[in-house]
Amino acid sequence: MQRKGIDMDETKILIVGGSSGMGLALARRCLAEGSGVIIAGRNAARLNAARDELGCPAALATAVADISREAEVAALFARIGRLEHIVSTAADIEGAYRLLPDIELSAAQKVVDSKFYGPLLLAKHGAPKLSANGSLTFVSGIAAYRPAARGSVVAAVNAGLEGLVRALAIELAPIRVNAVSPGWVDTPIWQFVAGDAKDETLAAMAKRLPAGRVGRPEDIADAIRFLMGNGFTTGTTLHVEGGQRLV
């Protein structure tokens, strides 16, 4: 007998950070599978642009919210009601990649707010809205395992997020809580990391990786979709990094 994952048809999914990159790729995939999707973010113009890019389907809604502000998170869930899955790909890393003497606390705090406190608040206010077979999926990253100079803040926050995921998987059971840890993925966020050297930097990494290329947003969307659909996976970090931990 063939075993099936959780049916995504007619489910309702919140994707925070769904206006670009990995979140947008996930929204496209979930819509194609028949799910209702809400993409949330801080910038209304970007959300509207994403809606246009996705073809303005009736199953797609947008919501402006800053997940670092608890009142906005609570109001978001009050508006959207019941859900099956919550995903956050949000990451505010602008100004965070600096050598230690140059790190500004304000930039570090933005990383913590978007990648740690944001998921914590999404779990706090979102878990009561989830069905028993629902899930929360967050995005950490390779920096937790292969830290580099200038990346101390991001490495620490990614590692902290994965610790939070394991604890929440126990506290919120049977709701499942997982993380995806991407490697280097060609998304707009690289403009903040490498600036004008983005293409050259990604090409150099592609030559090093056993997979022979850097990631695409669709690779991460596939991984998140697996975690949403597999009812026996919780408290887990799924590594999608082309073998980067090996080289």
Q: What top-level class would CATH report for the domain 12-242?
A: alpha beta
Could you tell me where the beta strands, DSSP code E, fall in the chain?
A: 12-16, 36-41, 60-64, 83-88, 130-139, 176-182, 237-240
Separation CA 123–CA 64 (nearest Å): 18
Q: Which two tokens stand for residue 11?
A: 């489910």
Q: Average pLDDT of 178-186?
A: 96
Model confidence pLDDT, tens digit, residues 68-110? 999 999 999 999 999 999 999 999 998 999 999 999 999 999 9
pLDDT score, position 3: 36
Among residues 68, 88, 114, 140, the one annotated as catalytic is: 140
Is it the case that residue 2 has pLDDT exceeding 50? no
Q: What element of type H or E holds 28?
A: helix 21-32
Token pair 């919140």: residue: 14
**pTM for this prediction:** 0.93
pLDDT score, position 190: 73
**Residue from 10, 6, 152, 180 nearest 88 by CA:** 180
Separation CA 35–CA 14 (nearest Å): 10
pLDDT score, position 10: 65
Judge whether 140 counts as a catalytic residue: yes
Model confidence pLDDT, tens digit, residues 95-149? 999 999 999 999 999 999 999 999 999 999 999 999 999 999 999 999 999 999 9
Separation CA 85–CA 224 (nearest Å): 11
**CA distances, 176 to each of 22, 123, 240 (Å):** 20, 11, 19
